[in-house]
Structure 1
């Protein structure tokens, strides 16, 4: 269902814009929009999160099954010059990952599998570099850093995997890289983009047992995510 919604949004957006964005017509929508010092907007989007694991000893990888998640947030954009903007994009991210642990001491599915549901307060600070505007469209790249607060971390829970509780740290720092395109429509600017989000620190809260079959062999666990956002300004 979510994939169908994405397709509908993209198709309708491009059908509305196609006559003026990519034709030879030189009618410029929102001609002075980019001259504003400060602009606001919001975004909706989808994500896919997984984990990157490093191990103390060579072993069979922990399997991460990803599912589509949802993003929503606000955009504050400060114009620095004709090509660079500074952006703050606070939002909420919902993500789910299913982990399968291959340790031979784990006998049942309940022991081997963990569903990790995360709700992040996600706050990126980004630099946006844009090319020169061409008629009613303009490509861009973004890069920067972000802080995420995982409201579902269970980091303070005294129970661990031996009681069925998989725990993560509450705070995560990331770096982000992405590309997109600004489409200048008649009433607003529409900006689809795709972005990679990469955690910079270990997020795993280890079990009390140092030889735990779930966490004992893990050196680090870091989130990696792909965001597809649709921004309206």
Structure 2
């Protein structure tokens, strides 16, 4: 199952890269032939808005608890990588010629699953615990952009985020199968992308790494699947398409 998710992610990214490369090669050739600069006045706008569509691959960075080495009922605990998607809005404010301030709130559907190899109640049993998340994510980023090359430019982003998990189970009743996670998380984001200027909109493919800093694991020594985990930190790779006006 994990390999299938990973192959699906690579296929998605491959098609996105092919599309971006096609646009990158085709648009400058068009500019050179016709000398038309699209949306030339856009660079002077103090602010503008857009929408975001994205695919994500998420997992946990897992730290094992000391009790994991002291017992033999659970032999292996590992994070799994799974696919999800994002929907969001975008607000961009111009700070200077090369710097913008960007706010990109998103609704993120993700699943960070855990794999266990157990000796109890049956020996050599494989178990997968699904930890589904519906995140309200609020990233605030600084955007560093290059000069325009015809109807294209390159940019990088860096910033901080705050996440609120609508599906968190931290307050769930006791269940021996639970691995509880907190409602809130915070972290950092870094990435890079391209802006392709068309006559009436900007098409921006972007890759970014979005990682949590805080420990989202709610440790409960009474829950056997949770007891062997010390910390969980969220990890996410995101490919986004921004449509901006």
Q: Under a length normalisation based on structure 1, what TM-score does the superposition of the two structures give?
A: 0.87
27, 32, 40: which one aligns with 2:49: 40
- Is residue 106–residue 213 contact of structure 1 (8 Å, CA) maintained in 2? no
Q: Write the mapping of 1:1-233 to structure 2, written as runs, cut at 5 A.
A: 18-23=25-30, 24-25=32-33, 26-57=35-66, 62-105=77-120, 107=122, 112-160=127-175, 162=176, 164-209=177-222, 212-233=223-244
Cα-to-partner distance string for 1:1-44 (whole Å, 9 max, x where unaligned):
88877777766676567543355343211111121001000010
Q: Which moved more, 1:103-112 or 1:77-86?
A: 103-112
Q: CA deviation at 1:227?
A: 0.5
Distance in 1 (CA, whole Å) between partners of 2:212 and 2:169 is 18
Q: Which stretch shifts more, 169-178 or 58-67?
A: 58-67
Kindly report the root-mean-square deviation, in angstroms, between the aligned alpha carbons of the 2 structures: 2.6
Give the Cα separation in 1 of the matches to 2:241 and 2:26.
20
Out of 37-46 and 90-99, give the one that drifted further: 90-99
Q: String of CA shifts for 1:36-55, please: whole Å, max 9, x gaps.
A: 00100001010000110112
Q: Which runs of 5+ in 2 are unaligned?
A: 1-7, 70-74
**2-side partners of 1:109 and 1:151: how far apart?**
34
Q: List runs of 5+ in structure 1 lacking aligned partners.
A: none
State the 1:61 CA deviation: 5.3
Q: Do the aligned partners of residues 196 and 6 (structure 1) sit closer, same or farther apart at CA in structure 2, a change above 3 Å counting?
A: closer
CA distance in 1, matches of 2:112, 2:29: 39
* Superposed displacement of residue 96, structure 1: 1.7
Count of residue correspondences: 229
Q: Distance in 1 between matches of 2:12 and 2:211?
A: 26
Q: TM (normalized to structure 2)?
A: 0.83
Deviations 1:106-132 (A, max 9, x none): 538998321111110111000000111
Relative to structure 1, is the Cα distance of residues 159 and 184 closer, same or farther in structure 2, using a 3 angstrom cutoff? same
